[in-house]
Amino acid sequence: MQVKAFGAQSATSPIAPMTIARRAAGPKDVAIKILYCGVCHSDLHTARGEWSGVRFPTVPGHEIIGRVTAVGAAVTRFKEGDTVGVGCMVDSCRKCYSCDDGLEQYCRGPHGFQLTYNGWIDGSGENTYGGYSSAITVDEHFVLKITHKESDLAAAAPLLCAGITTWSPLRHWKAGPGKKVGVVGIGGLGHMGLKLARALGAHVVAFTTSPAKVQDARDLGAHEVVVSRDAAEMAKHAESLDFILNTVAAPHDLDAFIALLKRDGTMTLVGAPATPHPSPSVMGLIFGRKSLAGSGIGGIAETQEMLDFCARHGIVSDVEMITPAEIEAAYGRMLKSDVKYRFVIDMAAL
Ligand SMILES: [Zn+2]
Ligand SMILES: [Zn+2]
């Protein structure tokens, strides 16, 4: 099946229209007409060949909301007409200990998990193409149910990457009532971190380098906002946070935040900087038995849990809608942090 898509032919060519092949729905497959696709920073890194191993042409997009058009004979959880989502993964080995635990994003099978774009179908070498397209076919195990109301569907798209990337660590480190939780960086990930930590019942402190974002952070759910360049403001929170979700993808001084953790507190990094952070002080970790951790997206079961939670609480991303023709311009604005807080492509314009 040939479908319309937008992608990059090389690292130096802009996102432009192309045609790609999608497989017909096999026995366990769900065929999906794509309605909306969020624009993640990973899309930009991939389209511009900034990460190693990008194979061109590439069709980015892993924050997909769509409607089921056909299902294979063995599909049990979906039927034609259902509203569904697809995130960062479309397959994994389903045999390793991570897959057994429902943490497919940490698959230890021979090929790891299969990325929604720039992945390898069954290790065959066939490139996967993402959501900047009119349709996609995905194994039902990696398809999520979307129960948000119709008018929220576009803004729900970023939950499939930005939402789960912040939800998984917030849940794993038990953000909730009685816990003081910091969220560092108020961008695509951080704005979801604030909303979710607040909805989970934690006392939420936002950290931003930008005084201009103080009111925004409050509006997004922060009880308190700290301008992290202000040492006196930072000092007020010394040794007080149970957990810090650090979403910043630029190298920065981690010690300044580790100092804000309580004894046994953890700071988890979810932003991937292109060059390393300065090495944190081991003393800062030793005196207080503190942990520095990392976390990557989330498993399928916890993604469904997050989507259901968000639908119940009316939580979506703050988004700006664009057409496929505006993707390159959107990339330019993302590089200047000129978006509140996620672009979503309306695929009806494809
Ligand atoms: Zn993403
Ligand atoms: Zn596995």
How many whole angstroms from 65 Cα to the centroid of ligand 1? 14
pLDDT band at 333 (very low <50, low <70, confident <90, very high): very high
Task: Give the DSSP letter string of 84-116.
Answer: EEE-SEEE--S-SHHHHTT-GGG--STT-SEES
pLDDT at residue 203 above 70?
A: yes
Query: What average pLDDT does the chain have?
Result: 96
149: which 2 tokens? 């109301």
Which ligand number lies closest to the CA of residue 64?
1
Q: How far is the CA of 106 from the centre of ligand 2 (A)?
A: 7
pLDDT at 217: 98
Give the pLDDT confidence score for residue 175 in this predicted structure.
98
Share of the chain above pLDDT 90, in %: 94
- The residue ranges of DSSP E strands in 108-240, in sequence order, are 114-115, 120-121, 126-127, 135-139, 144-145, 180-184, 203-208, 224-227
In this predicted structure, the answer to whether residue 274 has a pLDDT above a threshold of 90 is no
Ligand positioned closest to the Cα atom of 95: 2
Model pLDDT, residue 182: 98
What integer pLDDT is reported at residue 122 of this predicted model?
64
pTM of the model: 0.97
Taking the CA of 103 as reference, the closest ligand is: 2
In angstroms, what is the span from residue 90 Cα to ligand 2's centroid? 12
**What pLDDT, on the 0 to 100 scale, is given for residue 318?**
97
Q: How far is the CA of 296 from the centre of ligand 2 (A)?
A: 15
In this predicted structure, the answer to whether residue 87 has a pLDDT above a threshold of 80 is: yes
Coil, helix or strand at residue 307: helix
268 burial level (CB within 10 Å; 0-12, 13-18, 19+): buried
Are 297 and 105 in contact, with CB atoms under 8 Å apart? yes
Q: What is the DSSP string of 223-256?
A: SEEEETT-HHHHHTTTT-EEEEEE---S---SHH
Ligand nearest to the CA of 100: 2
Helix (H, G, I), strand (E, B) or coil at 8: strand
Share of the chain above pLDDT 70, in %: 99
Q: Which ligand is nearest to the CA of 164?
A: 1
Dihedral over Cα of 187, 145, 137, 326: its sign: negative
Residues with CB under 5 A from ligand 2 (ion): 92-93, 96, 99, 107, 109
Reported confidence tier of residue 148, pLDDT bands at 50, 70, 90: very high
Q: Which ligand is nearest to the CA of 96?
A: 2
DSSP bridge pairs for 321 = 344
Is the confidence at residue 81, as pLDDT, over 80? yes
CA end-to-end span of the chain: 17
151 and 158 in contact (C-beta within 8 Å)?
A: no
Q: How confident is residue 69, by pLDDT bands cut at 50, 70 and 90?
A: very high
Kindly state the average pLDDT of the residues 18-37.
Answer: 96
Question: What pLDDT, on the 0 to 100 scale, is given for residue 121?
Answer: 67
Between β-strands 241-246 and 180-184, what pairing exists: parallel, antiparallel or unpaired?
parallel
Structure confidence by residue, pLDDT tens digits, 296-329: 999 999 999 999 999 999 999 999 999 999 999 9
Alpha carbon distances (Å) from 192 to 17, 220, 316, 338: 31, 8, 8, 17
Is residue 228 within 8 A of residue 205, CB to CB? The reply is no
Q: Helix (H) and strand (E) counts for the chain?
A: 11, 19
Which pLDDT belongs to residue 244? 98
**β-strands 29-39, 16-21 pairing:** unpaired
What is the per-residue pLDDT for 111? 84
Note the pLDDT tens digit of each residue in 96-145. Answer: 999 999 999 999 998 889 999 999 766 666 899 999 999 999 999 999 99
Looking at the predicted structure, is the pLDDT value of residue 194 above 70?
A: yes
